[in-house]
Amino acid sequence: MARLDSFAIQIKNTPGVTAYISIINGEEFCPGEGQARAVRARDYLIKRGGIPWNRVMWRDWGFSTEFLVALELVPPGYAVYDPFSPRIPASEARPRPDCVKIMKEIRGSKF
């Protein structure tokens, strides 16, 4: 969680910015996995990092060749840019066979 701890410090040291957790699912994915991981990171920043809930957002950018996460600070008045490329169409992505196990681990994990 060191990466999120460092991100929390950056958020605290930069008043007025909104923190974005951007995710993109891999071509092999579990439905809801990206959202679950983004929400878990957001909750960590709020509960452990002491960041106000209205300064942390998450966004799902679709699919790519691998699962990726980007953490970014966005000043007021600026748009969130798309940090991911290349993309693949959703029709080319396929569910992993071990999704039940993976989702149970994500939802059951503690920080």
The domain locations on the chain are 2-106
The residue among 102 and 4 whose pLDDT is bigger is 4
38-71 pLDDT, tens digit per residue, is 999 999 999 999 999 999 999 999 999 999 999 9
Distance CA 12, CA 99 (A): 36
The residue among 19 and 110 whose pLDDT is bigger is 19
The model's pTM:
0.86
The pLDDT value given to residue 111: 65
Classify domain 2-106 at the CATH topology level: 60s Ribosomal Protein L30; Chain: A; (3.30.1330)
24 has a pLDDT exceeding 90:
yes
According to DSSP, the β-strands at 28-29 and 94-95 are: parallel
Residues 6+ apart with CB under 8 A from 53: 46
Distance CA 100, CA 41 (A): 20
Q: List the 18-25 sheet strands across, edge first.
A: 56-63, 18-25, 68-74
The pLDDT value given to residue 82: 85
SS3 of 39-87: the string is HHHHHHHHHCCCCCHHHEEEEEEEECCCCEEEEEEECCCCCCCCCCCCC
The pLDDT value given to residue 109: 78
